[in-house]
Structures are given as C-alpha cells and as structure tokens.
Chain A
Amino acid sequence: MDETTRQAARYWTLAQPAVSAFVAAVVHDFRDRDDVLQDIAVAVLESFPSYDPARPFTAWAIGVARNQVRLYLRRRRRDRLVFDEATIACLADAFGEIDADQVRRLDVLRECLAMLANRARGLCQLRYEQDLKPAAIADRVGMTPNSVAKALQRIRDQLRECLDRRASVSSR
C-alpha cells in the first residue's frame, strides 16, 4: 500500500459513517445502499489524488458520493419520494459538515437502547431488525399506523436526548 492509499484509507475511515448515512438517506433499498457505498469507496480511492487537503475530507467524500448517488437515481427514476438534485445538494452539504464528535457520540447508542422500556425496544426491533414500516408494525402490535409512527419518532427523540446527555457527561 503506497502512502497515498494509506492516507486515503485513514481519511475514509473517519468519513465513512457520514457518507453511509447520506447514502441511506437517499437510497431506500438496503442492497442498493451496499452497492452504492462500494462504488463510492472505489471512486474515493481513484479520485483521491485530486483531493485538496485544505478542504474537509468528509465534505469532499460526500461530493463523490453525490455523483454516485446521482448515477444510481438516474437508473431508478421510477421510484417515488426521491429528492431532486437541489435538495440532494443541500443534504450533501449538511452531511459533509458532520464531524467526528457527532459520529463518536453514537458509540453509546447501545447503552441508550438498553435503557428503553421493553415495548419501545420491541418497536425498534420490528422497525430496524425486520425492516417493517409503521403500517406493518401496527398490524402486529395492535396499534394504529399513526401511533406507531409517533412512537418511533418519540423513541428516536429519547435516544437522541440520551446521547446528548452522555456526551455532556463525558465532556465534563
């Protein structure tokens, strides 16, 4: 591994969570996300000589990701609820500003999950482990889709509060 590749690898490791979240926000299909992320990794490596170290790497990598996402969406034009170019550009800027601290604070997410009430954890399992949408979850647990959606929102809010508190405790 030459020094350029080594450097690219170092940067990529730090930027990957933000890039992955950006891709997940735009590409809905799990398998497609993997493929797109793979293409982005290759593109980042190939384009690394053109990277200007004066710029934040994550923002640059998100730019590369944006091109790959654009190619993907061109192939999947029939999908509904796909952001247009201008919106994706805004999102790319926002994901590019995610810093290492924001990523690192997610390291304690498991602990926060463990502190949720059982029913809340169960909803998370159905949503994320089984990839069920609120309507399907509602069928299984005897709630309305709307109440499931609200519950999921509240759970994520609680988890975010937990992460924030953990971050403030550890920074003292």
Chain B
Amino acid sequence: MPPTSSNTLPTMNDNAESWIHGYLDGTLTDSEFAALSEWLRSDPAHAGRFARVALLHNRLAELHRGPAVLLPPHVPLSEIRADDAGAADDPLDGWDSPTANDPAAEPLAERSSYEPVMGARLAGASGAAASRAAANRTAASRTVASRPVASRIGGRRARWWAVMGGALAVFAVMFGLLAMLGDSTGRVSAATRELARVITAQSRSPWRSYRIVIESERAMATKAGRSREADRRPPKPTLNSASLHVGPGGRFVLTGVEPAGSWTAGSNGQQSWSVRGTAPIRVSDDPLHFRRDVPGHEHAMPLNDLEAMLNRLCDSYDAVVLDDADEPDNTGDAAATGDAAATGDSAATDDSAATGDSAAKGDSVATGESALATESDAANNRGATPEPQQRSSRRLLVATKRRGQRGPRQVEVSYDSGTDELFAIRFVDMPYGANRLTLRLEPLPSEPTAQTAKYFEHTAHHSDSRAIEYVLGDGP
C-alpha cells in the first residue's frame, strides 16, 4: 500500500521489512517502491535496516554463484516442489519440519543450543563436501574445456563470483579435513587446526596478493628419466621477485620479470592465458593450462590454491607447531629447536634425502630460524609494525613430507597465533621444472584493481593491438 502522506509512515514502518525484501527480490510495484524510497529517506535508521538486509542478500548471491564447495548439498527440484495442495501456498507449512534422518534439516528457530552440534555435524558433512568439490572441479574443468570460448565468456554465473566466498570455501575444507583427521590425536591434529585457522583467516578476502622470494635454486638431482622428462617440458619462467594475485573461482595472475622482459600468466577461472614480451598472447580454454608456471602445480599444491595446499599438507606431510616465541629474541629456544630437529630427522629419511641431497639432513633447526627471521622481514616489508603483543605470539608450523610422497620436502608456515595473520610460507626444495627451489610466499596488500574480476582477464595485461593465439589441446 503506497503512502499518501507522512501520517502513513507508522504503517509503512510495519511493512518496511517486506518492502525491503520485495525490492531485493524485484517484486515491488511502482507505488510500493515509492513508499520504500520515502521510508528510507525518513530516518537514517531505516536506511541502516535496509543496508543490513542488503548485505546479507549480497553475500547470499555471492555464495551461490561461487564454487560449489561453498554450498550445502544441492536440493533437487522434486524436493522443493509443493506436492501437498494444502501446503502449496503456505511457505511456512512443512518448511521447518526436521527430517528424522537428516540432521541438517533441523530448523534454526527451534534449536536452542546448536553451536556444539553444528561443529560436529559440519565436520562430518564437509568431508564429503570436500570430496565432492574435488570431483566438481575436475568435472568443471572438463566441461569448460569442451565448450566454445564464446559461450563461456560472459556466462552470468562465471562473472559473479563470491567476493568473500573464499573464506567460506576454506571453512568447508577446514571442517572436512578436521573430520578426516578426527581419529588423530596430539600434535598433528593441533597442527591441522592451526593451519586451517591461518588459511581461513587469509581467505576472509578471496582477493589476495603475494610476493615470491627465491632463497635458493638448484638443478634437480639426476634420477633415471626424471630430469630428461623435465627438460622436454617448456622452460619455466624466472620467479625471483614475482608476484602472485589470487581471486575467487580459481582466478590467479602470476607476474615476473626476465631479462627478455616481463611475463604474466593467469586465469579468469574459465580460460588461462600467458603474456610474454612481444609474442602473441596465448589463451587456452583449459583454465589450468598456464597454471603450470605456478610453483607446486605438478604436485597438486599450487601456490594460488590454499585449499589444495591444506589438503596436501594433511594427506602427505607430518606437521608440528613450534611453541610460541615469547619474546622476539627467543627464536632459537630449546623447545623450538627440539621440535625442528625432530622434524629434520624425519626429513632425512624421505626421498629427497635419498636423491643425495645433503641439504635435506638436519637443516630443520636452521630452517626454523630462517622462517622466523622471514616473518620479521615480512612484517617490515609490509610496512606494518606489529604490535608488541602480536610479536610475542608468533608461531611456526613445520610440515615435513612423508616418505614416498611428492612435493616440497618441507613447508613452514609462520603466523601470528593471536590474529592468525600469515607472515610467510616457506617451501623447501620445491620441484619446479628441472630445478628445486626454496622459496617464500609473503602476503602483500592486494591493490584495489587486483580485487576485481577484470584484473584476471588477459586483456587487463596487454594492449588491444596485441595478437592473440588460441592454444588447442595440451600442447606447450
């Protein structure tokens, strides 16, 4: 009912909530819209109410247009349909009835204390969700690769990704991993929880930027056939001082500088692309095709995918959390050294050591020290002076590869245990083409322009006049 005068405002206020929802759902008539507009202008608190509902509405839209892993299981249309004629027009009838065998169907409104139940249930449900998500990603890759470029570009779902959805994706993975490790006790579980927390905190914004710092690079030890195979692959670009930008939906941009000029590789989630020097821009329908330049790609833990890294660390690594460094100058305390040394023992038995890598033996103590130093460097490089209480809660998680597994020999995550702020992730002996790298990934503030979908299109990284070459199949 439209207002006819200011006297109608109390009535409008009564209806305001439904007008707000109606506006967001696109169901308002012109007169209702006029009424809503007047109501919004009549009191700043009204606009505040609108903003709160709109914030939730926007997040719901982002969540549902983001990766499948973000969402609870899909409900088939047959389950949504109102079969009972009597219930058909009553949206409240039957909506909140819990299903006996489906704890997820328990109504929100009737739950008096759902907090502990929620945690347990999510842990179980998200394990399956994580597996589904992996399958979905694979299926999505196949689907995307088989569709014409033109039909994919401009897809509505593809264009509207969750701005904050990444955080929720990581929640799902985190709970799934905790469920998988539910039988584990002691430090491995604690380490997993710590790592999941840190990664969740990182993912509060799915638009993230990192700097890659190469500490050392060496040719991979010759092992029958392996290096020759690596030599046959396209050469990897130089990574030192490279930067990595990550967005939701598998988006990434990796950029660096070589003597021949700058290079950039990236993906908008549906296509991947490469921009090198003055050569034609190369574009592939496979969103993973040019991800090969991202370290860790070959071992299912690409640097642009924290979820995948978390999965791999849980599946293939033994992790320990070193005790808090109570003071900045306590970085080499006995407890930390002991843990790291134990890690080093484990490292010395893995396949990296078997390849004749002397560095693999007993260097974890030094590794721990360097990682903690790295943390300090990272804070300085960000231009942010940590508060004293934050400095006192620095932690280091050291994950050491299990025997027979592939990937970097050791991964160190340094972070603030109070705020979960990530200082750096250090990868020791990460295979990269024909070489092994020890590198650090350090968070950088993400530029506003790198926090939009357009930044992840190749067109944002070259002039319009450049030639474009479409890559077919899996060729280099």
Interface residue ranges, A against B (CB under 8 Å) = 1, 3, 5-10, 12-13, 16-18, 20-22, 24-25, 28, 30-31, 33-35, 37-38, 41-42, 44-45, 80-81, 83-84, 86-87, 90-91, 93-95, 97-98, 102-104, 106-129, 131, 133-135, 140-145, 147-154, 156, 158-163, 165-166, 169
Interface residue ranges, B against A (CB under 8 Å) = 17-18, 21-28, 30, 33, 37, 40-41, 44, 46-48, 50-65, 70-72, 74-77, 79-83, 88-92, 94-99, 102, 104-109, 111, 114-115, 118, 121-122, 125, 154, 156-157, 159-160, 163-164, 167-168, 171-172, 204-205, 207, 209, 382-383, 444-454
CB–CB B108/A116 < 8 A: yes
Residues of the A chain whose Cβ atoms lie less than 8 Å from the Cβ of B122: 111, 114
A148 smallest CB distance to B (angstroms): 7
CB–CB A117/B95 < 8 A: yes
CB–CB A153/B125 < 8 A: no
CB–CB A94/B445 < 8 A: no
Known interface pairs A80-B30, A94-B44, A133-B25. Does A109 touch B63 (Cβ–Cβ under 8 Å)?
yes
CB–CB B77/A104 < 8 A: no
* Secondary structure type dominating chain B contacts: helix
Report the separation of the CA atoms of residues A30 and B204 in the bound assembly, to the nearest whole angstrom. 22
B247 smallest CB distance to A (angstroms): 12
CB–CB A42/B88 < 8 A: no
Residues of the A chain whose Cβ atoms lie less than 8 Å from the Cβ of B94: 119
CB–CB A98/B447 < 8 A: no
Report the separation of the CA atoms of residues A68 and B15 in the bound assembly, to the nearest whole angstrom. 31
CB–CB B51/A94 < 8 A: yes
CB–CB A143/B91 < 8 A: yes
CB–CB B48/A94 < 8 A: yes
Smallest CB gap from B104: residue in A: A114
Give 30 pairs: A residue, B residue, CB < 8 Å, sorted on A: A21-B51, A25-B58, A28-B26, A35-B454, A45-B449, A80-B33, A90-B47, A102-B55, A106-B164, A107-B167, A110-B63, A110-B70, A110-B72, A111-B118, A111-B171, A114-B104, A114-B121, A115-B104, A115-B107, A115-B108, A118-B102, A120-B96, A128-B65, A141-B81, A143-B88, A149-B21, A149-B25, A150-B18, A159-B56, A161-B109
